[in-house]
Structure 1
């Protein structure tokens, strides 16, 4: 495992104005586009169970003919989402190594081509350290106007590479993925991109600068915590977006220890950190004219004699104090330090944090939907729109001020994990405490449930989903 040297390359998809060999893929409404009498293909399609449903597949073998196989895929309404599902279905319908030629309808929307390419790349992902290697095939998109879709394909490639990176970082076992390893991966990725810089604060600097929440959470581990600050600073940028991602490389629950089942997937507890890093690097790859800073507080929440205890009072970066009665509510403690630092030192126009923060998120919204919290209607709307376009669903939940009373502590400025319920909402209200005058320009995404897929489904592969990387890239691009 320790030989892992970065995410695998995203294999090529090319645009061409001449037919290629291999398996032909046709949208469901274009089964007659091939010359040579494809009436049988059209009939088989009409008689299939789900003609046209986005992601539906009909494989038509044609022995001794060219092409020898046709795959008809449903594109639904023909929008970007439908074509994304079609791309994912198409790549799964052919064996690894078999060339794929997708026949694009004349005048197809460039957004649909982007969705198609993203679907192919997302569904083809495999974790590099796994037994099964990434899908690697020759894919051609057939069109009479390649130049019209070159930009869409380039954007899709960057988004796919960012998503693959976020998935790789999250899938990596915690026997390798400690805070120092994660920071090293960010350094290596940033070194290949002009205009990107990295600062890593180790234990001594964290202590000198007062990152008390991060030091407390990481204090029980043999691998010390750190704070990664990754910055993309293009010339002429007039807007600064700060992205903060939870970076718990493994979460035992600390002294408030998790159950065995609750602990087995805790290598994914840094999924928010992976997403903000990937999105920031993607912004650099796309040369977006917006300044982006990603902050990832990294720690392993472990059990030992030096672990912080339930009932401890912790001094956060901003000098305020937090009483903690549950060491398994650690993510908000490290995020609080990073958010307070961001507001005071980085002068952000917008702050967005992503975190695998609460199990309550999945109770409320299930496995495929993140919870969105924000007082800013414009920001919330922009993130929802970006998520819809990118294929990552979220639902806005309230931030009721009277629930902030749940945070009352008799011995500190606030309580980290009150017992009154509304777990995801109260966690968001806790984070709001550290936003100061940026609370009305802040959004929080609780994305624990959608950060992991139990099986191959649509454009997701089993394991880490990289949730958030593509939504953030869409948002930054807008």
Structure 2
């Protein structure tokens, strides 16, 4: 991963990066660009040379444009002109990712930042680290040479905390990407639990409990056991606790952790099954966010629950029409074994409400294909009955560079959950798939019904292409938004 440091002046100026902003308003995207005043000021002759290059290079200032200018015998030897759009954090994040790709053959680059560098620094660092991400097991080809980035700022000491926050956020997002990208030939419930155990091994303030299948059976986690029953790799429940002494709020995060989803007896068609190693992206996000909160010493207690199972086809797999008894005794009828995520989430949520007594409950899950049908590939579907809680989380998600849209929980659809055989029907085939799944989960929130948020993030958990700070494959969606929100509590 890139080494990034704050400096007060260009110490190794072989390649100097100068930012440009659009000189026109947002409604004029093709307006000419102008150099951003930097701190400290750079030599006048260098700035004049760079300014003369802008119109010749046909730069508009739209975030992510990069142009190279060689200066044989000069210092610096190369100028990179980097467009940062309107100069907000999101634009700097896009620019950072573009720089990571454009400068991949360099060893070290120096970037001059503006005097008011907080948003620029955070966005640029996250963009650099996320745009340069490469999956550690399967990425082919020559690794990028770029290893070091110097950021020239007016007050390095005053920006250290901002750099640390950006670096931690990006590192945890990269961890979630690694966990999600790992093939299911390697990744099963036990493997995931071992990755978490390794991550907390040297951190005494983090407490971990992993429930094995026998413990799940003894304590009545019937949903997790039902989904995991068809696999030779038994299910697990990871419980990770960050408990700082100054915490005033207790948040429980729950993440769906299906390490591979065949659909079970209701088997998926091959095209829908190919990427089902990503069906634990919710668990990856909440675990990574908790590790990030601990690294940043956020003053909020966080208990993260990751119910882990592999949904396979075998003689022992649960069947369509089976009745599942969840933690606490509620029963559900499932006529589609491919609606398995809500079964493991229901167990974890019921346990959280009945045993942990949190102030807030948030779950993230790659739950339904209906998420993508409704909102496309970049937005998660957010559900909550609490207007303020929903607004706060949406604000944090957007500020972090992710996207979500609030969806309704209509009372008219509750009747869909009726069952003649059980307390609830978990998979009624009556349309509104993402909404009905959310309504089912709401039945397990108990007294926390008005302090609960569900995010269906199946679509934005994966990217088919490199785009801004996203790279092809797992996106780590949710880590950045959760960390930004947790920092406000």
TM bracket (short chain):
over 0.9
**Post-superposition shift, 1:47?**
4.3
Superposition pairs of residues 202-241 of structure 1, within 5 angstroms: 202-241=212-251
Structure 1 residue 120 and structure 2 residue 128: aligned? yes
Which stretches in structure 1 are left out of the alignment for 5+ residues?
Answer: 1-9
**Post-superposition shift, 1:97?**
4.5
Kept in 2, the 8 Å contact 1:31–1:72? The answer is: no
Superposition pairs of residues 98-177 of structure 1, within 5 angstroms: 98-105=107-114, 107-130=115-138, 131-132=140-141, 133=143, 136-177=146-187
Counterpart residue number, 2:16: 24
**Post-superposition shift, 1:50?**
4.5
Q: Among residues 445, 454, 457, which one is paired with 2:467 in the alignment?
A: 457
Secondary structure of the equivalent of 2:193?
helix
**Post-superposition shift, 1:62?**
2.4
Kept in 2, the 8 Å contact 1:369–1:447? The answer is: yes
Q: Among residues 370, 379, 388, which one is paired with 1:369 in the alignment?
A: 379
Q: Among residues 73, 79, 91, which one is paired with 2:88 in the alignment?
A: 79
Counterpart residue number, 1:182: 192
**Post-superposition shift, 1:31?**
6.6
Kept in 2, the 8 Å contact 1:31–1:38? The answer is: no
Counterpart residue number, 1:352: 362
Structure 1 residue 252 and structure 2 residue 243: aligned? no
Does 414-423 or 258-267 show the bigger shift?
414-423
Instruction: Kindly provide the CA deviation profile for residues 17-65 of structure 1, in whole angstroms up to 9, marking residues without a partner as x.
Output: 1212232111113278444344443233234445111122222222332
Secondary structure of the equivalent of 2:45?
coil
CA distance in structure 1 between the aligned counterparts of 2:154 and 2:219, rounded to whole angstroms = 59
Superposition pairs of residues 423-438 of structure 1, within 5 angstroms: 423-438=433-448
Q: Among residues 58, 61, 65, which one is paired with 1:56 in the alignment?
A: 65
CA distance in structure 2 between the aligned counterparts of 1:466 and 1:282, rounded to whole angstroms = 13
Q: Among residues 269, 281, 285, which one is paired with 2:291 in the alignment?
A: 281
Superposition pairs of residues 410-425 of structure 1, within 5 angstroms: 410-425=420-435
Structure 1 residue 66 and structure 2 residue 66: aligned? no
**Post-superposition shift, 1:309?**
0.5
**Post-superposition shift, 1:128?**
1.1
Aligned CA distance change for structure 1 residues 321 and 275 (closer, same or farther; 3 Å): same
Aligned CA distance change for structure 1 residues 199 and 78 (closer, same or farther; 3 Å): same
CA distance in structure 2 between the aligned counterparts of 1:141 and 1:250, rounded to whole angstroms = 41
Residues paired across the two proteins, number: 468
Kept in 1, the 8 Å contact 2:104–2:146? The answer is: no
CA distance in structure 1 between the aligned counterparts of 2:295 and 2:163, rounded to whole angstroms = 14
Instruction: Kindly provide the CA deviation profile for residues 216-235 of structure 1, in whole angstroms up to 9, marking residues without a partner as x.
Output: 00000000001000000111
CA distance in structure 1 between the aligned counterparts of 2:46 and 2:448, rounded to whole angstroms = 64
**Post-superposition shift, 1:74?**
1.5
Counterpart residue number, 1:320: 330
CA distance in structure 2 between the aligned counterparts of 1:119 and 1:386, rounded to whole angstroms = 17
Kept in 1, the 8 Å contact 2:104–2:144? The answer is: no
CA distance in structure 1 between the aligned counterparts of 2:78 and 2:36, rounded to whole angstroms = 13
Kept in 1, the 8 Å contact 2:117–2:153? The answer is: no
Instruction: Kindly provide the CA deviation profile for residues 52-88 of structure 1, in whole angstroms up to 9, marking residues without a partner as x.
Output: 1112222222233222221111212211111111111
Does 48-57 or 435-444 show the bigger shift?
48-57
Aligned CA distance change for structure 1 residues 258 and 134 (closer, same or farther; 3 Å): farther
Counterpart residue number, 1:42: 51
Structure 1 residue 15 and structure 2 residue 38: aligned? no
Secondary structure of the equivalent of 1:36?
helix
CA distance in structure 2 between the aligned counterparts of 1:347 and 1:264, rounded to whole angstroms = 38
CA distance in structure 1 between the aligned counterparts of 2:286 and 2:36, rounded to whole angstroms = 41
CA distance in structure 1 between the aligned counterparts of 2:408 and 2:279, rounded to whole angstroms = 24
Structure 1 residue 338 and structure 2 residue 340: aligned? no
CA distance in structure 1 between the aligned counterparts of 2:444 and 2:144, rounded to whole angstroms = 41
Secondary structure of the equivalent of 1:230?
strand
Instruction: Kindly provide the CA deviation profile for residues 156-199 of structure 1, in whole angstroms up to 9, marking residues without a partner as x.
Output: 11101111110110011101100000000001101122210100
**Post-superposition shift, 1:407?**
1.1
Kept in 2, the 8 Å contact 1:221–1:300? The answer is: yes
| TM-score after normalising by structure 1 | 0.95
Does 296-305 or 156-165 show the bigger shift?
156-165
CA distance in structure 1 between the aligned counterparts of 2:335 and 2:59, rounded to whole angstroms = 53
Aligned CA distance change for structure 1 residues 109 and 99 (closer, same or farther; 3 Å): closer
Structure 1 residue 393 and structure 2 residue 403: aligned? yes
**Post-superposition shift, 1:13?**
0.4
Kept in 1, the 8 Å contact 2:107–2:145? The answer is: no
Kept in 2, the 8 Å contact 1:343–1:436? The answer is: yes
CA distance in structure 2 between the aligned counterparts of 1:442 and 1:333, rounded to whole angstroms = 17
